[in-house]
Amino acid sequence: MQFGGLRAVDNFEVSIEEHELVGLIGPNGAGKTTIFNMLTGVYTPTEGSITLAGVDVTGKKPYEIVRHGAARTFQNIRLFKDLTVIDNIKIAYHNEMNYSTLEGIFRGKRYWAEEKKAQQECLDFLKIFDMEDYADTLAKNLPYGKQRKLEIARALATNPKILMLDEPAAGMNPQETHELMETIHFIRDKFDITILLIEHDMNLVMGICERIVVIDYGKIIAKGTPDEIKNNPDVIRVYLGE
């Protein structure tokens, strides 16, 4: 990915298997968010390609990529702040709803059946995060940690094959972070999805990821298991400045 004179991501090559939990780490400005932006269609890579479950999604629009099965959260929370918690999730769930515009306008039988199902399933997403009591709260009135969780619940409601989380624990205290990490494991298994996670906190990534990719200045400097990464001299140099 080239931004004018800056090659923000260079020769980045990674394959992620179904059901894997992979961490993407690197210092500030290394290119992590740019990679997410390419994977989700926010940016079109200036070179190279992206394949999702056998489909070439390079250059596709974000909404098309969601339909192919990729969902994400953002480093800076991006909720529909003036909508309720449940409505935030229903918006993400709308691809699963099966009634026509006319049925919506005339409120036919199928409309009510589908809306009821949507309400129930969206509440189920909230239950995973222990947030069903907040269903009717405006998103902007949620405490910060719960806003982060709502973003994950909303991404899950698009029924993704791969969920990409951009610093999901940013701003959380250690207890909240620990709980979130357990929840991430839980949803990976419950929904049988693949997770790619950006996180600054090395210990945290080491604790939950099966495989880690480390980048610096847009280039991969190491790939491997947490133990391999921990002992990799290039990673130690980048993180500790040795």
- Of the candidates 91, 89, 79, 92, the one whose C-alpha atom is nearest the C-alpha of residue 140 is 79
Helix then strand then coil, % of the chain, to nearest 5: 45, 15, 40
Q: How far is the CB of 84 from ligand ATP (least distance, A)?
A: 30
Stretch that binds ligand ATP, among 24-32, 46-54, 63-71, 122-130 (CB under 6 A): 24-32
**215 φ/ψ angles, rounded to the nearest 5 degrees:** -120, 155
Kindly state whether residue 238 participates in binding ligand ATP, applying the rule CB under 6 A: no
Kindly state whether residue 6 participates in binding ligand ATP, applying the rule CB under 6 A: yes
What is the bridge-based pairing of β-strands 194-198 and 162-166? parallel
**56 φ/ψ angles, rounded to the nearest 5 degrees:** -75, 115
Kindly state whether residue 26 participates in binding ligand ATP, applying the rule CB under 6 A: yes
Q: From the CA atom positions of the chain, what is the Rg in Å?
A: 19
Kindly state whether residue 55 participates in binding ligand ATP, applying the rule CB under 6 A: no
What is the bridge-based pairing of β-strands 21-25 and 219-224? unpaired
Q: Of residues 12, 21, 22, 34, which one binds ligand ATP by CB under 6 A?
A: 34
Kindly state whether residue 165 participates in binding ligand ATP, applying the rule CB under 6 A: no
Q: How far is the CB of 33 from ligand ATP (least distance, A)?
A: 3
Of 47 and 182, which CB lies nearer to ligand ATP in the complex structure? 47
- Of the candidates 43, 44, 50, the one whose C-alpha atom is nearest the C-alpha of residue 16 is 50
**97 φ/ψ angles, rounded to the nearest 5 degrees:** -85, 140
Kindly state whether residue 171 participates in binding ligand ATP, applying the rule CB under 6 A: no
Question: How many angstroms from the chain centroid is the CA of residue 34?
Answer: 14
Kindly state whether residue 168 participates in binding ligand ATP, applying the rule CB under 6 A: no
Per-residue x/- track, 60-99, ligand ATP (CB under 6 A): ---------------x------------------------
Kindly state whether residue 45 participates in binding ligand ATP, applying the rule CB under 6 A: no
Q: Of residues 12, 32, 122, 149, which one binds ligand ATP by CB under 6 A?
A: 32
Stretch that binds ligand ATP, among 3-11, 48-56, 63-71, 175-183 (CB under 6 A): 3-11
Sign of the Cα torsion 109, 115, 121, 123 reads negative
Instruction: Name the token pair of 220.
Output: 């991969």
Stretch that binds ligand ATP, among 1-9, 96-104, 137-145, 152-160 (CB under 6 A): 1-9
Residues that bind ligand ATP (CB under 6 A): 3, 6, 8, 26, 28-34, 75
